[in-house]
A and B are shown apart, each in its own frame.
Chain A
């Protein structure tokens, strides 16, 4: 595993190594489009897209400079900053939240408050319990009135086997999954129920890299912006390009997920949402997910805005 190569810290290779947040999904279409269509090349850089072995790798490896850029959810990034990892956000790929709570119609859940007395399955503590508790509190259900069950990584399975009545899920993934399996999903977006707005996928790097190779990073963000633009203008072609690069993903799940994801790609590939950062960090701090707050200029930089 790349984690065992601490001696490579500080090594820079010609191609820009970009690590996804986890396995490739339609969330990443613009990135692949930019790579395949030569948008990065046009900006003068080569990119190498990498897939992590597990979801906490991208942040560690970007901080250790084993990769140059990592994709990550905004919340996870803030947690990493609070843990002291040297990182800074340079751009945005998905500008909306994707998470929320998913239940099935057949379990008799129609509105969120119906989850009273029921069980919610989650994978990651302490983050997920905080999110779901916030959501339920917003409809008047306190944490005494429902159960939180850690179901490991098999969230969909636990939902379908009714070991739990709802799970934390993504609106463009698990929701599609259960629908394809013949069930009727009932989804509650987290931002509708008291969870602050977040960007589901941002791009981060080690601040040292900004000092050393600002032009490379600018080129990268510029290329990504073109990839996003192309995707929005030619969605069908963009999908085909993505599937061509990832042949194993050509199935109903990914095709349908893509349709849902289209409106979520960032309008601005750079990063400048001061208010959003502040609110989100304050929320995490208040709920004990992070132990301290960072000044905003240590969280993100807006120097790579493509459209200032």
Chain B
């Protein structure tokens, strides 16, 4: 516990140092406020615009949630398909990788035509960005299972369903969570980019509009808000991970033998 508090204090100090350098830097080098505002100005705008940031943030958060849901379920399903079918794996993997190369603005018009300007086009962009790390990590996790354990279960005539639930899935969870942590951070970016395509609300939308109106301080306040959203999501995944994967943190050193009878 003490160690945790110490690390939080360390982070806070680090952050304070960075912000001070930034603050001093923009004044020292006469950096214009419309290019890079000072942290003090950003924080001021942030606190005075809280209601605005909150209402836009809620929309972006909703898009992220939806995108995560789609990306994760789609990604895990795809991973299972790839894992269980070598044929589909060789057929699908190159397509999946190519999908990541396509810049969003190229497919944006398509997404808009199919999904309109509402929640779904943003969620789709987020989902497209999220599903890749999920697929890769889940497949790796499924493949990491000890073959001798599988032998053991085969010797017990366990069927594939049992093997999956008793062994494969729990063994893959650490990898899946790696994918989730990556995915959740990327989903923030995804939703933001989705909003650039066309939106009525959201932090990405706010950023573009503020930039056009040359309210750069508001742009950065939006970025700050997005960072907080991202941190919140990451922390949530981490907490869930710690609960589900308790076994990864040994509580004490291995005991010596308790003696024989």
Give A residues with C-beta under 8 Å from B. Answer: 3, 6-7, 9-10, 54-56, 59-60, 63-64, 76, 79-80, 83-86, 124-127, 149-154, 157-158, 161, 163
Contacts and interface: CB of A to CB of B under 8 A. Distances in A.
Interface stretch (B191-199, B220-228, B248-256): B191-199
B182 interface: no
B214 A80 contact: yes
Contacts of A158: 112, 198
B33 interface: yes
Nearest to A7: B29
B18 interface: no
A9 B32 contact: yes
Interface string B112-134: 11001100000000000000000
Contact of B33 (A54, A84, A127, A149): A84
B213 A79 contact: yes
A154 B112 contact: yes
Given A6-B31, A124-B209, A154 B36 contact: no
A56 B215 CA distance: 11
Nearest to B209: A125
A123 B213 CA distance: 12
B35 interface: yes
Given A6-B31, A63-B32, A79-B214, 5 more contacts: A6-B32, A9-B30, A124-B209, A150-B205, A158-B112
A151 B198 contact: yes
A99 B190 CA distance: 32
B34 A150 contact: no
A126 B32 contact: no
Nearest to A154: B109
A59 to B, nearest CB: 6
A96 B32 CA distance: 32
8 cross-chain pairs, A with B, having the tightest CB-CB distances, nearest first: A152-B198, A6-B31, A83-B214, A152-B197, A80-B214, A151-B198, A64-B32, A124-B212
B109 A157 contact: yes
Interface string B23-61: 000100111111110000000000000000000000000
Interface residues of B, number: 28
B178 interface: no
A154 B104 CA distance: 13
Interface in B197-247: 197-200, 205, 209, 211-216
29 contacts: A3-B35, A6-B26, A6-B30, A6-B32, A56-B211, A56-B212, A59-B214, A60-B34, A63-B32, A64-B32, A64-B34, A64-B35, A76-B212, A79-B213, A79-B214, A83-B215, A84-B33, A85-B34, A85-B214, A125-B209, A127-B213, A149-B117, A150-B117, A151-B112, A152-B112, A152-B117, A154-B108, A154-B109, A157-B113
A101 to B, nearest CB: 18
B33 to A, nearest CB: 7
Nearest to B218: A83
Interface of B: 26, 29-36, 108-109, 112-113, 116-117, 196-200, 205, 209, 211-216
A149 B198 CA distance: 9
Contacts of B199: 150, 152
Contacts of B216: 60
A54 B211 CA distance: 10
A152 B122 CA distance: 12
A161 B26 CA distance: 47
Contacts of A83: 34, 213-215
Contacts of B213: 79, 83, 126-127
Nearest to A149: B117
Given A83-B215, A126-B213, A163 B116 contact: yes
B193 to A, nearest CB: 11
A56 B213 CA distance: 8
Contacts of B200: 149-150
A154 B198 contact: yes
A6 B35 contact: yes
Contacts of A63: 32, 34
A55 B212 contact: yes
B30 to A, nearest CB: 6
Contacts of A151: 112, 117, 198
Nearest to A59: B214
A152 B197 CA distance: 5
Contacts of B198: 150-154, 158
A147 to B, nearest CB: 11
B31 A9 contact: yes
Contacts of A3: 35
Contacts of B33: 84
